[in-house]
Protein backbone atom coordinates (compact mmCIF):
# COMPACT_ATOMS: atom_id res chain seq x y z
CA UNK A 1 0.00 0.00 0.00
CA UNK A 2 2.88 2.40 0.71
CA UNK A 3 4.28 2.13 -2.82
CA UNK A 4 0.78 2.56 -4.27
CA UNK A 5 0.11 5.70 -2.21
CA UNK A 6 3.51 7.08 -3.29
CA UNK A 7 2.70 6.35 -6.94
CA UNK A 8 -0.68 8.10 -6.56
CA UNK A 9 1.01 11.11 -4.98
CA UNK A 10 3.49 11.35 -7.87
CA UNK A 11 0.74 10.94 -10.45
CA UNK A 12 -1.39 13.66 -8.86
CA UNK A 13 1.67 15.92 -8.61
CA UNK A 14 2.43 15.60 -12.32
CA UNK A 15 -1.14 15.77 -13.60
CA UNK A 16 -2.08 18.72 -11.39
CA UNK A 17 0.94 20.53 -12.77
CA UNK A 18 -0.55 20.38 -16.27
CA UNK A 19 -4.15 20.93 -15.19
CA UNK A 20 -5.57 17.39 -15.33
CA UNK A 21 -6.78 14.82 -12.79
CA UNK A 22 -4.85 11.64 -13.62
CA UNK A 23 -7.81 9.25 -13.43
CA UNK A 24 -6.66 6.85 -16.14
CA UNK A 25 -3.24 6.45 -14.53
CA UNK A 26 -4.78 5.82 -11.10
CA UNK A 27 -6.87 3.04 -12.64
CA UNK A 28 -3.84 1.52 -14.34
CA UNK A 29 -1.78 1.58 -11.15
CA UNK A 30 -4.59 -0.13 -9.27
CA UNK A 31 -4.92 -2.75 -12.01
CA UNK A 32 -1.18 -3.44 -11.90
CA UNK A 33 -1.50 -3.81 -8.12
CA UNK A 34 -4.11 -6.54 -8.61
CA UNK A 35 -7.10 -4.59 -7.29
CA UNK A 36 -10.54 -5.80 -8.44
CA UNK A 37 -11.13 -3.99 -11.74
CA UNK A 38 -14.76 -3.32 -10.80
CA UNK A 39 -13.80 -0.81 -8.11
CA UNK A 40 -11.05 0.91 -10.13
CA UNK A 41 -13.29 3.57 -11.70
CA UNK A 42 -14.81 4.40 -8.31
CA UNK A 43 -11.40 5.12 -6.80
CA UNK A 44 -10.03 6.87 -9.87
CA UNK A 45 -12.99 9.19 -10.32
CA UNK A 46 -12.95 10.06 -6.61
CA UNK A 47 -9.24 10.90 -6.87
CA UNK A 48 -9.96 13.02 -9.96
CA UNK A 49 -12.48 15.05 -7.99
CA UNK A 50 -9.97 15.70 -5.20
CA UNK A 51 -7.24 16.83 -7.62
CA UNK A 52 -9.23 19.12 -9.96
CA UNK A 53 -11.79 20.65 -7.57
CA UNK A 54 -9.41 23.32 -6.29
CA UNK A 55 -8.26 24.31 -9.76
CA UNK A 56 -11.83 24.54 -11.00
CA UNK A 57 -12.71 26.91 -8.16
CA UNK A 58 -9.61 29.03 -8.79
CA UNK A 59 -10.44 29.38 -12.49
CA UNK A 60 -14.01 30.35 -11.64
CA UNK A 61 -12.97 32.96 -9.06
CA UNK A 62 -10.53 34.45 -11.56
CA UNK A 63 -13.40 34.65 -14.07
CA UNK A 64 -11.47 32.64 -16.64
CA UNK A 65 -14.05 29.88 -17.18
CA UNK A 66 -16.12 30.49 -20.37
CA UNK A 67 -19.36 29.36 -18.75
CA UNK A 68 -21.61 29.52 -21.79
CA UNK A 69 -19.44 27.48 -24.16
CA UNK A 70 -18.09 25.16 -21.46
CA UNK A 71 -21.59 24.60 -20.13
CA UNK A 72 -22.76 23.26 -23.50
CA UNK A 73 -19.93 20.73 -23.64
CA UNK A 74 -20.54 19.62 -20.06
CA UNK A 75 -24.32 19.39 -20.51
CA UNK A 76 -23.72 16.88 -23.29
CA UNK A 77 -20.89 15.00 -21.58
CA UNK A 78 -22.26 14.62 -18.05
CA UNK A 79 -25.26 12.38 -18.86
CA UNK A 80 -23.02 10.26 -21.08
CA UNK A 81 -20.52 9.89 -18.22
CA UNK A 82 -23.36 8.71 -15.99
CA UNK A 83 -24.38 6.14 -18.60
CA UNK A 84 -20.76 5.05 -18.95
CA UNK A 85 -20.61 4.48 -15.22
CA UNK A 86 -23.74 2.32 -15.40
CA UNK A 87 -22.49 0.20 -18.32
CA UNK A 88 -21.36 -3.34 -17.39
CA UNK A 89 -17.98 -4.30 -18.88
CA UNK A 90 -15.74 -7.36 -18.57
CA UNK A 91 -12.22 -7.29 -17.17
CA UNK A 92 -10.30 -7.75 -20.44
CA UNK A 93 -12.25 -5.12 -22.46
CA UNK A 94 -11.97 -2.75 -19.50
CA UNK A 95 -8.19 -3.13 -19.21
CA UNK A 96 -7.75 -2.89 -22.98
CA UNK A 97 -9.75 0.35 -23.19
CA UNK A 98 -7.86 1.72 -20.21
CA UNK A 99 -4.47 0.89 -21.71
CA UNK A 100 -5.34 2.42 -25.08
CA UNK A 101 -6.71 5.51 -23.30
CA UNK A 102 -3.41 5.90 -21.46
CA UNK A 103 -1.33 5.65 -24.63
CA UNK A 104 -3.53 8.19 -26.41
CA UNK A 105 -3.44 10.47 -23.38
CA UNK A 106 0.38 10.33 -23.34
CA UNK A 107 0.52 11.29 -27.01
CA UNK A 108 -1.99 14.09 -26.39
CA UNK A 109 0.23 15.49 -23.64
CA UNK A 110 3.17 15.65 -26.05
CA UNK A 111 1.25 17.74 -28.56
CA UNK A 112 2.52 21.30 -28.58
CA UNK A 113 0.18 23.92 -27.15
CA UNK A 114 0.19 27.35 -28.75
CA UNK A 115 1.25 30.26 -26.61
CA UNK A 116 -1.31 32.97 -25.84
CA UNK A 117 0.35 35.17 -28.46
CA UNK A 118 -0.22 32.50 -31.12
CA UNK A 119 -3.95 32.16 -30.57
CA UNK A 120 -5.64 33.35 -33.72
CA UNK A 121 -9.28 33.82 -34.61
CA UNK A 122 -11.66 31.09 -33.52
CA UNK A 123 -11.32 28.14 -35.90
CA UNK A 124 -14.20 27.21 -38.18
CA UNK A 125 -14.37 23.70 -36.69
CA UNK A 126 -14.73 25.01 -33.13
CA UNK A 127 -18.50 24.92 -33.47
CA UNK A 128 -18.33 21.13 -33.95
CA UNK A 129 -16.79 20.51 -30.52
CA UNK A 130 -20.12 19.50 -28.92
CA UNK A 131 -19.96 16.38 -31.10
CA UNK A 132 -16.90 15.20 -29.14
CA UNK A 133 -18.35 15.90 -25.69
CA UNK A 134 -20.68 12.92 -25.29
CA UNK A 135 -18.20 10.23 -26.45
CA UNK A 136 -15.54 11.61 -24.12
CA UNK A 137 -18.04 11.73 -21.28
CA UNK A 138 -19.07 8.13 -21.86
CA UNK A 139 -15.44 6.99 -21.86
CA UNK A 140 -14.90 8.97 -18.65
CA UNK A 141 -17.65 7.14 -16.79
CA UNK A 142 -16.80 3.73 -18.25
CA UNK A 143 -13.09 3.49 -17.38
CA UNK A 144 -12.66 6.15 -14.70
CA UNK A 145 -11.12 9.14 -16.43
CA UNK A 146 -12.25 12.75 -16.59
CA UNK A 147 -11.91 13.18 -20.33
CA UNK A 148 -10.24 16.58 -20.13
CA UNK A 149 -6.87 15.21 -21.19
CA UNK A 150 -8.43 14.36 -24.57
CA UNK A 151 -10.70 17.39 -24.78
CA UNK A 152 -8.02 20.04 -24.25
CA UNK A 153 -5.78 19.12 -27.25
CA UNK A 154 -8.81 19.10 -29.55
CA UNK A 155 -9.89 22.51 -28.27
CA UNK A 156 -6.42 23.87 -28.92
CA UNK A 157 -6.35 22.33 -32.39
CA UNK A 158 -9.58 24.03 -33.48
CA UNK A 159 -8.67 27.32 -31.71
CA UNK A 160 -11.77 27.05 -29.54
CA UNK A 161 -10.67 29.77 -27.10
CA UNK A 162 -7.59 31.11 -25.29
CA UNK A 163 -5.17 28.71 -23.61
CA UNK A 164 -6.32 29.73 -20.13
CA UNK A 165 -10.01 29.39 -21.02
CA UNK A 166 -9.33 25.91 -22.41
CA UNK A 167 -7.51 24.91 -19.22
CA UNK A 168 -10.45 26.14 -17.15
CA UNK A 169 -12.91 24.27 -19.37
CA UNK A 170 -10.91 21.03 -19.18
CA UNK A 171 -10.77 21.27 -15.38
CA UNK A 172 -14.53 21.79 -15.10
CA UNK A 173 -15.13 19.04 -17.67
CA UNK A 174 -13.09 16.58 -15.60
CA UNK A 175 -14.81 17.55 -12.35
CA UNK A 176 -18.39 17.20 -13.61
CA UNK A 177 -17.72 14.02 -15.60
CA UNK A 178 -16.02 12.48 -12.58
CA UNK A 179 -19.00 13.31 -10.37
CA UNK A 180 -21.62 11.93 -12.75
CA UNK A 181 -19.48 8.95 -13.76
CA UNK A 182 -18.92 8.13 -10.10
CA UNK A 183 -22.67 8.29 -9.48
CA UNK A 184 -23.21 5.77 -12.29
CA UNK A 185 -20.49 3.48 -10.98
CA UNK A 186 -21.94 3.52 -7.47
CA UNK A 187 -25.44 2.69 -8.73
CA UNK A 188 -24.02 -0.17 -10.77
CA UNK A 189 -21.76 -1.51 -8.04
CA UNK A 190 -23.96 -1.17 -5.00
CA UNK A 191 -22.94 -0.77 -1.39
CA UNK A 192 -20.50 -3.69 -1.44
CA UNK A 193 -18.14 -2.08 -3.94
CA UNK A 194 -18.45 1.29 -2.25
CA UNK A 195 -17.33 -0.22 1.05
CA UNK A 196 -14.37 -1.98 -0.57
CA UNK A 197 -13.39 1.18 -2.43
CA UNK A 198 -13.56 3.30 0.72
CA UNK A 199 -11.46 0.85 2.73
CA UNK A 200 -8.70 0.84 0.13
CA UNK A 201 -9.11 4.39 -1.11
CA UNK A 202 -8.85 6.63 1.96
CA UNK A 203 -5.01 6.75 2.08
CA UNK A 204 -4.94 7.14 -1.71
CA UNK A 205 -7.29 10.14 -1.55
CA UNK A 206 -4.99 11.74 1.03
CA UNK A 207 -2.00 11.03 -1.24
CA UNK A 208 -3.57 12.69 -4.30
CA UNK A 209 -4.71 15.67 -2.23
CA UNK A 210 -1.11 16.26 -1.13
CA UNK A 211 0.31 15.54 -4.58
CA UNK A 212 -2.17 17.85 -6.28
CA UNK A 213 -1.20 20.77 -4.06
CA UNK A 214 2.51 20.16 -4.61
CA UNK A 215 1.99 19.86 -8.37
CA UNK A 216 0.13 23.15 -8.55
CA UNK A 217 2.89 24.86 -6.57
CA UNK A 218 5.66 23.44 -8.76
CA UNK A 219 3.87 24.49 -11.94
CA UNK A 220 3.36 28.03 -10.72
CA UNK A 221 6.70 28.74 -9.06
CA UNK A 222 9.45 26.31 -10.00
CA UNK A 223 9.42 23.80 -12.85
CA UNK A 224 8.73 24.84 -16.47
CA UNK A 225 5.36 23.57 -17.68
CA UNK A 226 6.99 21.80 -20.65
CA UNK A 227 9.10 19.66 -18.30
CA UNK A 228 6.11 18.62 -16.23
CA UNK A 229 4.15 17.82 -19.39
CA UNK A 230 6.92 15.57 -20.75
CA UNK A 231 7.32 13.74 -17.44
CA UNK A 232 3.57 13.22 -17.23
CA UNK A 233 3.45 11.92 -20.82
CA UNK A 234 6.31 9.51 -20.11
CA UNK A 235 4.60 8.15 -16.99
CA UNK A 236 1.29 7.76 -18.82
CA UNK A 237 2.77 5.95 -21.83
CA UNK A 238 4.91 3.58 -19.74
CA UNK A 239 2.01 2.60 -17.47
CA UNK A 240 -0.35 2.22 -20.43
CA UNK A 241 2.10 -0.01 -22.32
CA UNK A 242 2.73 -2.09 -19.20
CA UNK A 243 -0.99 -2.55 -18.73
CA UNK A 244 -1.61 -3.60 -22.36
CA UNK A 245 1.25 -6.10 -22.25
CA UNK A 246 -0.43 -7.77 -19.29
CA UNK A 247 -3.93 -7.98 -20.80
Go through 132-143 and write b for each residue having 16 or more CB atoms within 10 A of its CB, e for each that does not: bbbebbbbbbbb
39 found inside a domain = yes
139 found inside a domain = yes
pLDDT tens per residue, range 106-145: 888 787 655 544 455 566 667 888 888 999 999 888 888 8
CA atoms within 13 A on the CB side of 118: 8
Full residue range of the structural domain in which residue 49 is found: 2-113+125-246
99 found inside a domain = yes
153 found inside a domain = yes
64 found inside a domain = yes
CB 188 within 8 A of CB 38: no
Q: In angstroms, how far is the first alpha carbon of the chain from the final one?
A: 23
CA–CA separation, 117 and 115 (whole Å): 5
Percent of the chain with pLDDT over 90: 19
pLDDT for 61 equals 87
Q: How many domains does the chain have?
A: 1
199 found inside a domain = yes
30 found inside a domain = yes
74 found inside a domain = yes
The whole-model pTM stands at 0.85
Residues 7-23 have a mean pLDDT of 84
Amino acid sequence: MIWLAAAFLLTALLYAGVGFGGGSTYSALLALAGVDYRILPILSLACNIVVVAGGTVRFARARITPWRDAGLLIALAAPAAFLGGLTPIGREPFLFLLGVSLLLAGVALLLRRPSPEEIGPRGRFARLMPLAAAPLGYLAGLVGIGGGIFLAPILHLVRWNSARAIAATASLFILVNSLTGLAGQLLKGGEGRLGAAFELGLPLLVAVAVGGQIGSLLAVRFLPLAWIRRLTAALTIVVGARLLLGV
